[in-house]
Amino acid sequence: MQFLDVANIDVVGGSWALDERFSADGYLFFRGLLDKASIALVRDAYVAALRQRQLLGLDSDTHWTGNRPSDYKSRLNELHNDGVWQRFVASPPVNSVLTKILGDEPWWIPVSEYRGVLPAEGSDVRSHLYAHQDSYFTGKLGFRTLWIPLNEIDDRMGGLALAPGMHKRGLLHDIANPPSYNIPSDAVPESAWRAGPYSPGDLVMFHQDMPHSGLVNRSDGIRMSMDLRCQRKSDPHPILGTLTGLNQNELTIQLNSAESVRLAVDETTYFWNFDGGPRLTPEEAATVMPPGSQIVAERNGAVAAVVRLNSSERARRSFQ
């Protein structure tokens, strides 16, 4: 697989030039940009969580123990209770470098993942774990995804693959193919994919419509990465709040300010649970998204997408 092109944060034209490149290619890949000490704090939290789960032993902070719990889905969801990513983005060197890229302060959408991907089983012959476009699940919330490697990730360990330029091809998920609606394998030719290697300090920032996939981990170590989603402070933001009502025709969201917003529900509306799974209809969502769920929704007349957040993101939202 060919490599991603590396961007230069000090390019002539600054954030304007980076924006041009982001629009054309659908991504920006920076090497060694993020503050190493801030990355190390995040990584320490992963290592502690992986040891707690006996996926890492005390002798190594990368080498997998061989345990493969059947309920482990490559995500360290317990870290959502600790505000790990919020502390990371609040650290001044991280905030200032992201502000320089964006030409404005970042505004964070609390849709984040802490991934610890185990080596594949020998019988797993895939190269890609799951090709998808984030906006298929979250709707057009208008964000950039930040994919942040936390350990050395060579081609054996896999990492993240993108299909540069293909963010302009619209939705590639096969909407005629329920229940998973995958991107058909021929929709993104094998030759279109580009990847790392990656090191701690690198940053991949990509468009919400970019087809991307984790690659299968063929090393003997655990792949650690974090993905975050941000906008510019000056962008129109989606609605963040508490779901207080949902029926066939509308949903009600209470904002942090205690003010309520009512949004129409129509046949295009869908819901999605932050920790994965398919899109849900309003009827399905009513059973798994009880009143009190923290959600983020598009700011449209008829809502197209509502994402239920991890419940521990509630208190942290005041952080923004």
- Rule CB under 6 A: which residues touch ligand AKG? 115, 117, 129, 134, 145, 147, 160, 212, 214, 225, 227
Q: CA 128, 47, 30, 156 torsion: positive or negative?
A: negative
* Least Å from the CB of residue 63 to ligand AKG: 19
Alpha-carbon span 224 to 43, nearest angstrom: 8
* Least Å from the CB of residue 248 to ligand AKG: 31
Q: CA 92, 98, 100, 102 torsion: positive or negative?
A: negative
How far does CA 107 lie from the centroid of its chain? 15
Beta carbon nearer to ligand AKG, 156 or 286: 156
* Least Å from the CB of residue 124 to ligand AKG: 14
* Least Å from the CB of residue 125 to ligand AKG: 17
Exposed/middle/buried for residue 312 (C-beta within 10 Å: 0-12, 13-18, 19+): middle
* Least Å from the CB of residue 134 to ligand AKG: 5
Contact between residue 209 and residue 165 where contact means Cβ atoms under 8 Å apart = no
Beta carbon nearer to ligand AKG, 101 or 228: 228
Beta carbon nearer to ligand AKG, 145 or 151: 145
* Least Å from the CB of residue 129 to ligand AKG: 6
Beta carbon nearer to ligand AKG, 101 or 224: 224
Output the residue with the shortest Cβ distance to ligand AKG. Answer: 214
Beta carbon nearer to ligand AKG, 117 or 246: 117
Alpha-carbon span 42 to 84, nearest angstrom: 6
Contact between residue 205 and residue 21 where contact means Cβ atoms under 8 Å apart = no
Beta carbon nearer to ligand AKG, 47 or 117: 117
**Cα angle for residues 96, 97, 98 (degrees, 5° grid):** 90
- H helix runs in 182-233, sequence order: none
